[in-house]
Structure 1
Amino acid sequence: MSAGTDLAGAVEALRPELSALAVALYDEPEIGFEEHASVARIAALLDAHGVSPEVGAFGLDTALRATVGDGDGPHFAIIAEYDALPGIGHACGHNIIAGIAVGAFLAAAPVVESLGGRLSLIGTPAEENGGGKEHIIRAGGFDHVDAAGMVHPSSGSGTTSILGQRTTGVRRVAVTYHGRAAHAAGAPWLGRNALDGAVTAYQGVAQLRQHILPTDRIHGIITDGGAAPNIVPERAAALFYVRSAEVKTLRELTDRVVAVLEGAALSTGTRAEIEVDPVPPYLPLQTNVALTERWARALEARGREIPPPPVVPPQGGPSTDMGNVSRFVPSIHPSIGLGGPDEVFPHNAAFADLTVLPAALDALVDAAVALASAAVDYVADTELRAAVAAEFAAAGGRYRWA
């Protein structure tokens, strides 16, 4: 019996528990850094299979770490996410990600251990709102990891190509304008309108959008517009997301946005209090093709077709803190379709409902088998490890945001 067959059988045996986990997370969604019930469910499932996880790892209450195997062997980390979105629950499918990760870890763990390697399951909170993976990197959680991988669900029946999902980096820029209150009708000349600062900033950013790279994105909202119409607002605030496809251009675009915000204060006689990176920045994803090919090969063995990459790469794209991991260790982040109509896209409430349908749970099992296979291949195959390392080095090697 082949290792691939063993892994498939192990994941299939786990199907009822993995499906129940995905449904339970769907039924009780928790937002970032508040995933207490979610991480407890994952820990309980690991405990039931003889693995003792650490909950509260890396100084984060809802992070998790479980490791099996030899401390000196090749070390592969399987990444789990389990936070939800406010109001629309698991509309990004992190309940599926958690099921895939747990299934792959439990299936691959005994094989990796027998090969003299090491396998970790790292549960990462707050992908949506807090950059949990960057916090874990800063805490040293990936210092001794050699490669990492996770799988993200997508809409429709297709998956991404072996190049993985295209993402952009994102930085948050928060600004508060401080002015001077006055009676808006009786003595407006005594005031300095902080809302004018925020509106001028918003308009300036909108004008900047005409002169940025096709892969760049900037979007924002005004989060505070004052207290009452008859009071000149003494405080107003806005929050902008700045996205770019490369680390260098992400820094450059952020500087241009900050200049716009400072200019708005100058033109309105207000003071700008600017905070860059209130949440750790998310870096553009760097997919390791050599490793992703092994995932793709194993997925195709499950009878799933992987379409070729588009002739013209998509412009822009979402962001993930898995990008930070991918710049720190060789990583994969492919996606798998859950079935259903293509227009049911992540970050739509209908996508959360899709994640608990039979087709989605079938996809969970297939993706878990493929991820387990990629992890085992990495530990077992010295030539693959060399190819993965060479590709990572050619892309610039380990990078830490500073």
Structure 2
Amino acid sequence: MTGTNERIEGTFEQNLDSVLELSHRINANPELAFEEHETSASIIAALEDGGRFTVEEGVADLPTAFVASAGHGDLVFALCAEMDALPGIGHGCGHNVIAASAVGAALALAPYADELGLTVRVVGTPAEEKGTGKEIMVNRGVFDDTHAAMMVHPSLKDVVTPQLRASRSWQVTYTGRGGHASRPWNALNAGDATVVAQTAIGLLRQQLRDGVRVHHVVKEAGAAVNVIPDRAVTDCMIRCDTIAEVDEVWERVRRCFDAGAVATGTSVEYSALPSIYREFRHDPDLAPLFEQNAKAIGRTFPDYPDTMFGSTDMGNVSLRIPAIHPMLSFDLPPEDGNHTAAFAIAAARPEGDRFVHDAGLAMALTIAHAAQTDSVRTRLLT
């Protein structure tokens, strides 16, 4: 296996400059969920320029989603390339380096795919930040003939098996009766309903299990101080260890929103937002292989007391097929972590480049390792 690793690493290094250029280009042109047209085209071009990939675009009826394949082996591995950015702060979650590392790994493996009995796929997955594109792709069969999938995510820690949690979101709309603020007695204040609901949720939190998170943001609650608002809109997200627990907690949180309507005499409507992030299940064979290969190229994995991160629709994939989602770090202060403008800047600078190198090479070596380990290969194919 050493000889194969050396050839894969050599090919990876040959492609690294172009892969880093891809990362920087994506970072400089951030696109939001389901709108990643330039990003998707850039990734596809990088793979087609490699000369070994055939590409199917618009998979799952999603215009920016794609599957690029190389090799004809019976063991099919997917490298997931996330593409979307965050409103206002661009690639503050580092999706540019996630996509580039997937491309780097795929280009390094492609020349040896048939030799290893592999079909290597890069799956362009839109709308991770909002809309859970992978959930749509899973449900529409994109991963049905794939044996395993992986990606690596940037963070401030190096963790092989992070705790990635389930979440779901709802929109809550109150409708009241507007009026002049100087004569409010005939009005029904929809903005007040949000205050009552938030207060009730704050009190509910002491009754929730440790680790349960209830996030909410008031998106609309009036436009002028001298007008009683007749409409208010709140988005609410609940994050728990499993999607079943999310749904259980929502029933309690919903009653808090009901209380806002009861207290103010307004009406309330609920709509589920199209974002469902399921819990992540780390594959017990692929995770230690990744750790071994990442350590071989210089990464270390400290025993952190806290390895709880956010949510990802890669969890939706992991409940369907074997998958891993390790974290590799940027060396930044805590205040410059994920979902900040500082993290977006770092993703196109040396920290981001280091991530692309280490994550891409570690994934390539891990897939080759799995393909040549009889027990792992047999289990994945079974």
Q: What TM-score do the two structures reach when normalised by structure 2?
A: 0.93
Does 1:281 find its partner at 2:276? Answer: yes
Offset of residue 24 of structure 1: 0.8
Map of 2:11 onto structure 1: 10
> What amino acid is aligned across from residue 163 of structure 2 in structure 1?
R
**Does structure 2 retain, via aligned residues, the 8 Å contact 1:377–1:384?**
no
**Aligned equivalents of 2:318, 2:69: Cα separation in 1:** 20
Task: Provide the aligned length of Structure 1 versus Structure 2.
Answer: 380
Map of 2:158 onto structure 1: 159
**Aligned equivalents of 1:159, 1:166: Cα separation in 2:** 13
> What amino acid is aligned across from residue 182 of structure 2 in structure 1?
A
Offset of residue 274 of structure 1: 0.5
Does 1:81 find its partner at 2:82? Answer: yes
Q: Deviation string for 1:309-343 (max 9, x for gaps)?
A: 33x445x5311111111111111000112334454
**Aligned equivalents of 2:186, 2:192: Cα separation in 1:** 15
> What amino acid is aligned across from residue 289 of structure 2 in structure 1?
R
Offset of residue 175 of structure 1: 0.4
Against the structure 1 CA distance between its residues 264 and 355, is the aligned structure 2 distance closer, same or farther, given a 3 Å change threshold? Answer: same
**Aligned equivalents of 2:132, 2:364: Cα separation in 1:** 25
Q: Deviation string for 1:328-367 (max 9, x for gaps)?
A: 1111000112334454211111112212223431331121
**Does structure 2 retain, via aligned residues, the 8 Å contact 1:290–1:384?**
yes
Q: Deviation string for 1:361-393 (max 9, x for gaps)?
A: 133112111101222233333301456699xxx
**Aligned equivalents of 1:368, 1:83: Cα separation in 2:** 19
Structure with more of its chain in strand, by fraction: 2
Please give the secondary structure, in 2, of the residue aligned with 1:328: coil
> What amino acid is aligned across from residue 306 of structure 1 in structure 2?
F
**Aligned equivalents of 1:200, 1:338: Cα separation in 2:** 41
Q: Deviation string for 1:136-182 (max 9, x for gaps)?
A: 11221111211110001123xx511x3x2222211111100011223
Q: Deviation string for 1:256-298 (max 9, x for gaps)?
A: 112221232122211111112x122111222123211111111
**Aligned equivalents of 2:182, 2:83: Cα separation in 1:** 51
Does 1:178 find its partner at 2:175? Answer: yes
Does 1:355 find its partner at 2:347? Answer: yes
Tell me which of 226, 230, 255 is aligned to 1:259.
Answer: 255
Does 1:382 find its partner at 2:374? Answer: yes
Please give the secondary structure, in 1, of the residue aligned with 2:215: strand
**Aligned equivalents of 2:298, 2:238: Cα separation in 1:** 39
Offset of residue 79 of structure 1: 0.5
**Aligned equivalents of 1:229, 1:27: Cα separation in 2:** 39
**Which has the larger displacement, 62-71 or 12-21?**
62-71
Does 1:104 find its partner at 2:102? Answer: no
Does 1:226 find its partner at 2:222? Answer: yes
Q: What TM-score do the two structures reach when normalised by structure 1?
A: 0.89
Of all paired residues, the percent bearing the same amino acid is: 36
Offset of residue 200 of structure 1: 1.2
**Which has the larger displacement, 17-26 or 253-262?**
253-262
Map of 2:294 onto structure 1: 299
Map of 1:327 onto structure 2: 319
Does 1:59 find its partner at 2:58? Answer: no
**Aligned equivalents of 1:267, 1:189: Cα separation in 2:** 15
Map of 2:166 onto structure 1: 169
Does 1:365 find its partner at 2:357? Answer: yes
Please give the secondary structure, in 2, of the residue aligned with 1:266: helix
**Aligned equivalents of 1:139, 1:280: Cα separation in 2:** 16
**Does structure 1 retain, via aligned residues, the 8 Å contact 2:167–2:243?**
no
> What amino acid is aligned across from residue 352 of structure 1 in structure 2?
A
Please give the secondary structure, in 2, of the residue aligned with 1:262: helix
